[in-house]
C-alpha cells in the first residue's frame, strides 16, 4: 500500500477488495533500518477502521520488539519482522504469537538464508525480499528465485511471500518457485483499473502453480 492514494484510504480499500485483492500489505519504515520513512501506528489503525481485509504489516524498522504489542493493538493480522533488525528474532516471533497475531520473518536479498531456517520453523510466513528494502518501484533481483525455492524446499508449513518488483514479467516464475503471497506495488497502483490488473496477474501466476 506504499503507493496508494492516502487521501482516501477507505476508497482505496474498497477498490482493492472489489478488484479481488486478498490482503493489504503495509510497509512500516523507520528511516533507520531502511533509508526511507513511511508511516506508523495511526495509519495501520486507519486501514483497520476502513476494511475487514487481512492486514499484512511489514515492520522495516530497528528493534521491532519495542512495538509488537502496539501494532497488534492497531489491528495487524500478520506482523513480519526482519532477521537483520533485531538481535533475537525468535523472541520477537514468540511475542507476536502471544499477542494473538500471525508471525512472519523477512530476509533481505544479501542475507544468508541459513540465518532464518531455525526461526522460520516457528513462523506462519516467510517473506523473501526480491529488492533491497526501503523503496518502491525497484527491479526484481533474479537470484531471488533460487532463494524462494530454498525456503519452499525447507518447509511447506509456512506461507511463502515475495516482495519487490512483482509484475507481469516476474510473477509466473515466483509462483512456479513456490510463492503463496505476492506483494504488488507499482505494477498495480500505476494502473487505473485495479480489478483487471489483479485478474491479469492472478491468471499469469495460476498456470505455474498448477504445474508446480
Span 36-58, pLDDT tens digits: 888 889 999 999 999 999 999 99
* Vertex 162: Cα angle to 57 and 208 (nearest 5): 135
pLDDT at 211: 39
pLDDT at 189: 86
pLDDT at 37: 82
Q: Are 57 and 78 in contact (CB under 8 A)?
A: yes
pLDDT at 68: 97
Domain ranges of the chain: 6-129+140-211
Q: Which residues are known to be catalytic?
A: 27, 163
- Pairwise CA distance, residues 71 & 59, whole Å: 9
- Pairwise CA distance, residues 206 & 182, whole Å: 12
Backbone conformation region of residue 70, classed left if phi is above 0, alpha if psi is from -120 to 50, else beta: alpha
CATH code 3.40.50.620 for 6-129+140-211: no
Low-confidence stretches of the chain (pLDDT < 50) are 209-212
Q: Are 33 and 61 in contact (CB under 8 A)?
A: yes
Tell me the Cα Rg of the chain: 16
- Pairwise CA distance, residues 212 & 208, whole Å: 6
pLDDT tens string 102-114:
999 999 999 999 9
pTM: 0.92
Amino acid at each position: 500500500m506504499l503507493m496508494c492514494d492516502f487521501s482516501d484510504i477507505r476508497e482505496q480499500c474498497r477498490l482493492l477488495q472489489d478488484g479481488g485483492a486478498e490482503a493489504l500489505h503495509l510497509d512500516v519504515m523507520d528511516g533507520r533500518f531502511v533509508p526511507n520513512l513511511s508511516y506508523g501506528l495511526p495509519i495501520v489503525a486507519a486501514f483497520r477502521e476502513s476494511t475487514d481485509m487481512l492486514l499484512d504489516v511489514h515492520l522495516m524498522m530497528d528493534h521491532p520488539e519495542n512495538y509488537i504489542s502496539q501494532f497488534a493493538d492497531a489491528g495487524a493480522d500478520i506482523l513480519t519482522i526482519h532477521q537483520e533488525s533485531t538481535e533475537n528474532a525468535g523472541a520477537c516471533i514468540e511475542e507476536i504469537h502471544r499477542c494473538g497475531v500471525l508471525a512472519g520473518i523477512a530476509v533481505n536479498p544479501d542475507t544468508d538464508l541459513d540465518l532464518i531456517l531455525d526461526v522460520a520453523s516457528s513462523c506462519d510466513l516467510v517473506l523473501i525480499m526480491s529488492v533491497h528494502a526501503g523503496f518502491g518501484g525497484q527491479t526484481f533481483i533474479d537470484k531471488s528465485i533460487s532463494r524462494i525455492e530454498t525456503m519452499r524446499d525447507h518447509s511447506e508449513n509456512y506461507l511463502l511471500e515475495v516482495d519487490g518488483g512483482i509484475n507481469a514479467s516476474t510473477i509466473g516464475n515466483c509462483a512456479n518457485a513456490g510463492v503463496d503471497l505476492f506483494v504488488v506495488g507499482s505494477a498495480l497502483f500505476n494502473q487505473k483499473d485495479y480489478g483487471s490488473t489483479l485478474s491479469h496477474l492472478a491468471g499469469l501466476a495460476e498456470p505455474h502453480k498448477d504445474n508446480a
